[in-house]
Amino acid sequence: MKNFFIKIAFIVIYTGIVGFNNEPEKFEPKQSVVEKVKAIISEMTLEEKVGQMTQVTIQVMSVKQGTKDQHHVLDEKKLEEAIKKYNVGSILNVYDVAHELDYWHEIITKIQNLAVKETRLGIPVLYGIDAIHGATYTKGSTLFPQGINMAATWNRDLIEKIGEITAHETRASGIPWNFYPLMDIGRQPLWPRLWETYGEDVYLASQIGSSYIKGAQGNNIGAPDKLATCLKHYVGYSFPLNGKDRTPAWISERMLREYFLPTFEAGIIAGAPTIMVNSGEVDGIPGHANYHLLTEILRNELKFKGFVVSDWEDIKRLHTRDRIADSPKEAVRIAVMAGIDMSMVPLDYSFYDYLIELVKEGSVPMSRIDEAVERILNVKMELGLFENPFPNKELEEKFACKEFTDINLKTARESIVLTKNENNVLPLSKNSKIFVTGPTSNMLSVMNGGWTITWQGNEESLYPKEKNTLLEAIQEKIGAGSVTYVEGTSFNKEIDVEKAVNASKDCDAVILCLGEVAYCESPGNINDLTLDEAQLKLAENIIDTGIPVVLVMLEGRPRVISSIADKVNAVLVAFLPGMEGGNALADIIFGDYSPSGKLPISYPKYPNGNTTYDYKPIENFDTNTYDPQWAFGYGLSYSTFNYNNLKLDKNEINETDELNISVDVTNTDRIEAAEIVQLYLCDLYGSVSRPNKQLKGFEKISLKPGETKTVAFKINKDHLSFIGIDNMRIFEPGEFEISVGDMKEKFVLKPTSALND
């Protein structure tokens, strides 16, 4: 039966996989902006145009890097050179630590004064920064849980708020451009940037990323407290075969379109005006040389109207690393002709010099330069920089205010996943005597990860003293007198396991805090997903005491803990919950908050051979199984929920119909708690092997004891579509299965009557 249907598959003129219904708008410069920008371009020299396409780091204009106690020292002459001689369009980063608001204002004001008042055309500079979980590089900012945690909340409204607050605090620093959100999906757990992703699922990541953009940009990036987001890293960066950062991915065009492009498409639809390029390579073509992806797909198919910026030094690397170009100048030609509009050079002006030569020689046409400059200036103008490029003092008032901290705490609480709770050992009584041990117990860096105050985020001494580590939060919650602490081990070296075991003896429960140091990008590469031996040894010794053990994992990626997971009594997977992570964990451990996070990834049980939840039939066939430690979407609560009455309003639909689905969810326990209701779809037969199931809807609801709520979902043909044999998005009539909780219902997508005739 289905075979017949397969032959008449329909091609979808695709309008986005996300089913995002908040009417976000694709970035499209206003006609008035386009006209003004064209007029400016008509006045520009080649040098001024290429300058706009050049981005350098502030380090280039500094004589000394910043330290714990001292700002970086700016070199005024070099600053003038950058802006007046090279006409740079954009500057990024810090050298090397976060600044106070006031110092940011001083730098940005200096830069903009030079650009606006001392250059011929007065074009403002676009400053960019990695404010990935809050204003990373501004001292005292609100630093939220990282991306993987944001996804674990499954809470669109909360993530929108994070976008809003981050935009506020970044703009308060005088910076209008954020290199975030990261729309790479996290399907390779070894990858040291997994924690920057929104997890392994296309739909969840698209929803979370789009919500973030909505909050950060509102419907006008030029509003004083909004900014321009940057989707990164287009595309395929997150799936390195060997798990190491910036190593090759092998992704066929079909899989690229099915799994890796849709999140970027969602970000474009949500209005992101800039995109950063994949630093690695896909199928042998470095991201920065890929005309097909950067122009044919991004511009011609996805109709992206903003500008594309390279990643750090990656145009140069086409020559120095990838050997795609036989000279640095050829690297510039390849990248610009592939579709890159701005080069994050970022340590010199070689891009500027080479590109001018290339245009003069005729190897890069002026039309390509004009196109790039127009895109860049459109964004600058939409940001309002031409009217006022200076920091806005008024935004300081709400910077890191209590309201923002409260949202941070709420997000941290909602982002923590309870994956085991044997005999309801949690929550613990506040009258308990608690023993705390392990390398992540008493550090803030391990809860924040990379891009926190510094790039690697691992300078513990720079962290704000007033924020609580987990140990401090527990002490605050139940009184320091009820808490004993021995570190036990460092991350990878035993310190005093015996002392820890002895100290645990009189306690009612042990909080065992394991995980990873803070890291970012390539320095975070590892060879084995298994947790370090020293930590597993501490765990084994503590487990042997027989005292109930609550394991807390603070980590950027899911380190394998299968040797101890069955032996501990409770597990909280906390990933990187940010500055309020200690308080949030203490709230959960002692019952002031019932956990509601759900895993946005499949937590691996083994260092190798793991699959994602949306595995293909062949991955669950013969000796193959989906066998994670904990599955995608899994997470316990202190309450229990019953699912009933899964209803579909039709059992047959055609391509224009919408299928309405509803389900009743009841809180069957005695405490109020939140539940994330997840809807999955399975296409039973298809011309390309179809995943076991795919998330197509979710709602987070709060239920009082005994309360029942009916949750409604809608499914249309977009949700049923996939990338067919010809690499086009299609949908095929046939039978589908919906599942919510452990209930399942089938429906049929009918062929259209036209095709039946």
C-beta of 132: minimal distance to ligand BGC in Å? Answer: 8
**Is the CB of 451 or the CB of 590 nearer to ligand BGC?**
451
Which residue has 């709060």 as its token pair? Answer: 702
Question: In the complex with ligand BGC, which residue's Cβ is closer, 388 or 525?
Answer: 525
Number of residues that bind ligand BGC (CB under 6 A): 10
The least distance separating ligand BGC from the CB of residue 180, rounded to whole angstroms, comes to: 8
Q: Closest CB to ligand BGC among 235 and 574?
A: 235
SS3 letters for 246-276?
A: CCCECCCHHHHHHHHHHHHHHHHHCCCCEEE
Q: Which of 129, 277, 156, 260 is nearest to 214 (CA)?
A: 156
Nearer to ligand BGC, 276 or 688 (CB): 276
Choose between 276 and 471: whose C-beta lies nearer to ligand BGC.
Answer: 276
C-beta neighbour count of 655 within 10 angstroms: 16
Q: Does 238 bind ligand BGC (CB under 6 A)?
A: no
Q: How far is the CB of 147 from ligand BGC (least distance, A)?
A: 12
* Of the candidates 649, 740, 654, the residue with the CA atom closest to the CA atom of residue 697: 740
Pairing of strands 483-486, 434-437: parallel
Which C-beta is closer to ligand BGC: that of 91 or that of 115? 91
Of 85, 267, 41, 157, residue with least CA distance to 702:
157
Q: Does 93 bind ligand BGC (CB under 6 A)?
A: yes
**Which helix (H) or strand (E) covers residue 643, if one does?**
strand 641-648
232 forms part of the interface with ligand BGC (CB under 6 A): yes
Cα dihedral 367, 373, 375, 381 in deg (nearest 10): -140
| 144 scored as a contact of ligand BGC (CB under 6 A) | no
> Are the beta carbons of 459 and 143 closer than 8 angstroms?
no
314-318 long-range Cβ contacts below 8 angstroms, 24+ apart: 314/277, 314/279, 314/286, 314/287, 314/288, 314/344, 315/288, 315/340, 315/343, 315/345, 315/351, 316/345, 316/350, 317/286, 317/288, 318/286, 318/288, 318/289
Contact 143, 133 (CB under 8 A): yes
In the complex with ligand BGC, the residue whose CB is nearer, 93 or 629, is 93
Q: Which is nearer to ligand BGC, 96 or 106 (CB)?
A: 96
CB of 632 to ligand BGC, least distance (A): 25
Angle value at C-alpha 352, between 347 and 357, nearest 5 degrees: 140
667 token code pair: 């809180």
Backbone angles phi, psi at 473, to 5 degrees: -65, -40
Tell whether residue 627 is a contact of ligand BGC (CB under 6 A): no
Q: Are 659 and 714 in contact (CB under 8 A)?
A: yes
State yes or no: residue 521 binds ligand BGC (CB under 6 A): yes
Please, what is the minimum distance in Å from the beta carbon of residue 489 to ligand BGC?
31
- Looking at the Cβ atoms of 192 and 582, the one nearer to ligand BGC is 192
- Closer to ligand BGC by CB, 59 or 662: give it: 59
Least distance to ligand BGC from the beta carbon of 687, Å? Answer: 37
Task: Please pick, from the candidates 188, 279, 411, 445, the single residue that binds ligand BGC as defined by CB under 6 A.
Answer: 279
With tokens 């992206």, the residue in question is: 304
Nearer to ligand BGC, 93 or 442 (CB): 93
For residue 547, the 8-state DSSP code is S
The pair phi, psi for residue 572, each rounded to 5°, is -115, 115
Least separation in angstroms between CB 304 and ligand BGC? 18
Residues with catalytic function: 311
Q: How far is the CB of 458 from ligand BGC (least distance, A)?
A: 16
| Distance set, CA 562 to CA 144, 149, 317, 565 (Å) | 29, 22, 40, 5
Q: What is the 8-class DSSP label of residue 294?
A: I
293-332 residues near ligand BGC, rule: CB under 6 A: 311-312
By CB under 6 A, what part of segment 596-625 binds ligand BGC? none
End-to-end C-alpha distance for the chain, whole angstroms: 17
CB 740 within 8 A of CB 731: no
Q: Of 349, 375, 351, give the one whose Cα is nearest residue 275.
A: 375
Site string for ligand BGC, 403-442 (x = CB under 6 A): ----------------------------------------
Name the DSSP class of 237: T
CA dist list (Å): 235 to 163, 178, 276, 293, 518 = 22, 18, 9, 8, 25
Task: Report in angstroms how near the CB of residue 233 gets to ligand BGC at its nearest.
Answer: 6
Minimum CB distance to ligand BGC, residue 450 (Å): 10
CA 419 from centre of chain: 22
Task: State the binding string over 53-92 for ligand BGC (x if CB under 6 A, else -).
Answer: ---------------------------------------x
The contact pattern for ligand BGC, residues 171-190, with x = CB under 6 A and - = no contact, is --------x-----------
For ligand BGC, the binding residues in 113-142 under the rule CB under 6 A are 130
Give the CA distances from residue 155 to residues 71, 234, 319, 494, 702, in Å, rounded to whole numbers and listed in that order: 38, 25, 43, 39, 12
CB 172 → ligand BGC: shortest distance, Å?
20
Q: Which alpha helices (DSSP H) does 364-494 contain, by range?
A: 366-382, 402-414, 445-448, 470-478
693 binds ligand BGC (CB under 6 A): no
Report the C-alpha gap between 582 and 660 in whole angstroms: 41
Q: List interacting residues with ligand BGC (CB under 6 A).
A: 92-93, 130, 179, 232, 276, 279, 311-312, 521
